């Protein structure tokens, strides 16, 4: 009976969230109540152990460092300079501003790792310009939401930093496994925008041919001065992780320092910018780590209560095929993404799913990459898409929810296409980790 009592934890959690309780406190309260009900006074020791484990996890130290790096790039104007440089080269293409937004999303995602920050920065820079050039409002909405969502699929992603320790896999392997699917997704976004705008020019009116832009020499200088330092920062962060030279935490520290040096080099470093970046980092980090703590406490009580063994028996004793079980897990994660933030979904689903995935014989890194693509798709999917709520906060009233819902649909299809390719061809997620650290496919 106690095993099935643990399963009540999940509907109780959903109930509290629906009632409006914060996700972190909901998980902590449920873990405490069910822990005491199951184990009495011994639950206190178990919960305190989870607090200590979370506080002493060195990998989680990368979270505030990556957040600070993104905040510095945003507050110091580096992102604005970067978008301007990219726009110089894309403005003559069909849907050039949309193409520039996707490229900006790709670069900023690789330099930040915070999904909400990526979308907010791109939206504030691109939406006013796209509206000024009479871009279709649905195309604007879909492009900004999709560009911002790349922060999940392109490392360094905060979600990956959280997922790695929870899933028991290397964060570096997850970063390398995400690279090909992430850039494939960005490429599909670019191709869609160019093709649809070439077929329907009214969606994205081209600039007048008599508009004078800078010369080739000036364009090269603007591009190199804006893009090269940022790319060097990205290479320092991702390159050191992928080559095994630095841990994610060490690379994040280098990235945080590098963002300060970039701001100094551009003569944009002020006490105000540093203070604002530090406060933003503190707020986001406190929110994320409190959710991580609540998730660890929730998962600890669930495991100790026998809930994991019950879930395994429910899934494995049904006679369903391994692929059907895998699809069920991903579908549950997709639906959970409607009501929970991505980190909460990771902390609730992954501890339960990973043992099942291992027993079914699937590769853990491959599953985690597919899981992250599902999370990114859920992040973009109406009616409760977090990406749409981020966009709603930074767009003028003439861009309505109807525009947003319509605009994200083609990009959702492209994300599902990438998911299908990852599931059908595991080498998309495993080739680079295998090349760097040896084969992992089981």
Per-residue model confidence (pLDDT) at position 185: 92
| Spacing of C-alpha 80 from chain mean position | 21
What does the DSSP assignment read for 64-123? Answer: HHHHHHHHHHHHTTHHHHHHHHHHHHHTTSTTHHHHHHHHHHHHHHHHH--HHHHHHHHH
The mean pLDDT of 48-57, rounded to a whole number, is 80
Per-residue model confidence (pLDDT) at position 441: 40
Closest to 391 measured CA to CA, from 193, 151, 116: 116
Q: Which DSSP state fits 246?
A: S
Per-residue model confidence (pLDDT) at position 423: 94
Closest to 340 measured CA to CA, from 1, 2, 10: 10
- pLDDT over 90 at 368, yes or no: yes
Whole-number Å distance between alpha carbons of 104 and 130: 14
Q: Which residue has the higher pLDDT, 248 or 174?
A: 174
The mean pLDDT of 8-14, rounded to a whole number, is 80
Per-residue model confidence (pLDDT) at position 366: 94
- pLDDT over 90 at 251, yes or no: no
pLDDT digits (tens, 9 = 90+) for 283-294: 878 877 888 888
Per-residue model confidence (pLDDT) at position 442: 39
Q: How confident is the model at residue 115 (pLDDT cuts 50, 70, 90)?
A: low
Mean pLDDT of the chain: 81
Per-residue model confidence (pLDDT) at position 4: 61
For the chain, percent of residues with pLDDT exceeding 90: 12
Q: How confident is the model at residue 56 (pLDDT cuts 50, 70, 90)?
A: confident
The mean pLDDT of 425-438, rounded to a whole number, is 84
Structure tokens given for 84: 């301007």
- pLDDT over 60 at 394, yes or no: yes
- State whether residue 232 is helix, strand or coil: helix
Most confident of the ranges 10-14, 112-116, 146-150, 182-186: 182-186
The CA R_g of the chain, rounded to the nearest whole Å, is: 22
Per-residue model confidence (pLDDT) at position 420: 95
Cα 290-292-298 angle, rounded to 5 deg: 105
Per-residue model confidence (pLDDT) at position 195: 93
Q: Report the length, in residues, of the chain.
A: 442
Per-residue model confidence (pLDDT) at position 85: 79
Asked if 427 contacts 184 with a C-beta cutoff of 8 angstroms, the reply is no
Per-residue model confidence (pLDDT) at position 339: 63
Per-residue model confidence (pLDDT) at position 207: 66
Cα 144-123-65 angle, rounded to 5 deg: 100
Weakest-pLDDT range from 28-32, 157-161, 195-199: 157-161
Q: How confident is the model at residue 210 (pLDDT cuts 50, 70, 90)?
A: very low
- pLDDT over 70 at 223, yes or no: yes
- pLDDT over 50 at 96, yes or no: yes
- State whether residue 213 is helix, strand or coil: coil
Asked if 354 contacts 311 with a C-beta cutoff of 8 angstroms, the reply is no
Closest to 409 measured CA to CA, from 142, 188, 200: 142
Weakest-pLDDT range from 61-75, 140-154, 272-286, 306-320: 306-320
Rounded alpha-carbon distances, angstroms, from residue 400 to 176, 242, 321: 38, 42, 43
The mean pLDDT of 37-61, rounded to a whole number, is 80
Nearest 5°: phi and psi at 200? -130, 80
Indicate the domain borders of the chain: 2-437
The mean pLDDT of 327-342, rounded to a whole number, is 80
Per-residue model confidence (pLDDT) at position 425: 93
Structure tokens given for 38: 């199951």
- pLDDT over 50 at 328, yes or no: yes
The mean pLDDT of 143-149, rounded to a whole number, is 86
- pLDDT over 70 at 1, yes or no: no
Per-residue model confidence (pLDDT) at position 34: 86
- The Cβ-side half-sphere exposure at 417, using a 13 Å CA radius, reads 13
- pLDDT over 80 at 138, yes or no: yes
Weakest-pLDDT range from 28-32, 149-153, 358-362, 431-435: 149-153
Residue where the block lists tokens 């110089």: 88
- pLDDT over 60 at 439, yes or no: no
- For helices 78-90 and 216-234, give the axis angle rounded to 10 degrees: 130
Per-residue model confidence (pLDDT) at position 126: 81
Per-residue model confidence (pLDDT) at position 196: 93
Q: Which residue has the higher pLDDT, 217 or 27?
A: 27
- The Cβ-side half-sphere exposure at 433, using a 13 Å CA radius, reads 26
Phi-psi region of 40 (alpha: psi -120 to 50; beta: other; left: phi over 0): left
- pLDDT over 80 at 187, yes or no: yes
- pLDDT over 90 at 416, yes or no: yes
């Amino acid at each position: 009976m106690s095993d099935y009592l643990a399963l009540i934890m999940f509907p109780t959690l959903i109930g509290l969230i629906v009632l409006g309780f914060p996700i972190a406190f909901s998980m902590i309260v449920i873990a405490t109540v069910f822990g005491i009900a199951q184990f009495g006074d011994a639950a206190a020791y178990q919960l305190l152990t989870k607090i200590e484990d979370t506080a002493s996890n060195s990998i989680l130290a990368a979270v505030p460092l990556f957040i600070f790096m993104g905040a510095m790039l945003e507050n110091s104007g580096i992102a604005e300079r970067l978008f301007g440089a990219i726009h110089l080269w894309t403005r003559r293409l069909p849907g050039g501003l949309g193409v520039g937004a996707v490229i900006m999303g790709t670069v900023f995602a690789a330099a930040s790792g915070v999904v909400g920050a990526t979308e907010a920065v791109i939206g504030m820079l691109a939406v006013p310009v796209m509206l000024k050039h009479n871009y279709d409002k649905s195309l604007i909405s879909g492009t900004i939401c999709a560009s911002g969502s790349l922060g999940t699929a392109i490392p360094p992603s905060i979600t990956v930093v959280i997922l790695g320790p929870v899933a028991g896999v290397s964060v570096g392997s997850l970063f390398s496994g995400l690279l090909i699917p992430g850039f494939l997704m960005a490429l599909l976004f670019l191709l869609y925008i160019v093709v649809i705008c070439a077929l329907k020019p009214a969606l994205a009116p081209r600039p007048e041919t008599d508009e004078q832009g800078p010369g080739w020499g000036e364009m090269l200088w603007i591009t190199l001065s804006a893009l090269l330092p940022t790319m060097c920062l990205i290479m320092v962060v991702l390159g050191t992780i992928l080559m095994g030279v630095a841990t994610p935490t060490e690379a994040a520290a280098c990235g945080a320092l590098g963002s300060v040096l970039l701001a100094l080099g551009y003569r944009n470093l002020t006490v105000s910018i540093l203070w604002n970046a530090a406060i933003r980092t503190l707020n986001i980090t406190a929110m994320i780590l409190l959710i991580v703590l609540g998730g660890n406490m929730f998962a600890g009580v669930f495991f100790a209560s026998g809930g994991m063994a019950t879930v395994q028996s429910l899934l494995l004793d049904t006679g369903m095929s391994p692929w059907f079980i895998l699809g069920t897990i991903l579908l549950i994660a997709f639906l959970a993404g409607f009501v929970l933030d991505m980190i909460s979904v990771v902390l609730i689903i992954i501890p339960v799913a990973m043992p099942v995935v291992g027993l079914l014989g699937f590769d853990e890194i491959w599953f985690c990459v597919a899981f992250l693509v599902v999370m990114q798709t859920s992040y973009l999917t109406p009616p409760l898409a977090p990406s749409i709520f981020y966009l709603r906060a930074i767009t003028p009233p003439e861009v309505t929810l109807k525009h947003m819902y319509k605009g994200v649909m083609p990009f959702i299809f492209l994300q599902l296409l990438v998911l299908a390719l990852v599931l059908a061809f595991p080498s998309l997620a495993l080739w680079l980790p295998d090349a760097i650290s040896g084969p992992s496919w089981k």
